[in-house]
Amino acid sequence: MVKYMGIADAHGIESFIPVIGNEEIVSGILIRARLNRQRHAVFYVIDISEIDAKKVSEQINKENYIKALLILKKSKGKLDFPKQINPRKSWHLIPNNNLDPYS
């Protein structure tokens, strides 16, 4: 298992970053998620298998952000939403482009 963090929103995964070696950017990512709540953005941390992490990364590289999020959500990884107020409702609603008031 490997630990990743990032932002997911109405349009899928915005970021998928290994936690190890990137601990100093957590607060910046969290702020970005909070500033994009209109798109139901959530900051997540997940312990995910290396196989599923590779699948997610492959979809991101292909710019298939919705499919990447669906793979992440179907993985058996342990999911956490640190330092947030009730993000689970948004997590269950995304991905859904119709939730973005600006699209």
Q: How many domains does the chain have?
A: 1
pLDDT tens for residues 72-101?
Answer: 999 988 999 987 667 889 999 999 999 988
Question: Do residues 88 and 43 make contact, with C-beta atoms less than 8 angstroms apart?
Answer: no
Q: Which residues of the chain carry a pLDDT beneath 70?
A: 84-85
Q: Tokens standing for 103?
A: 């699209």
* Domain range for 14: 2-99
The predicted model scores a pTM of 0.92
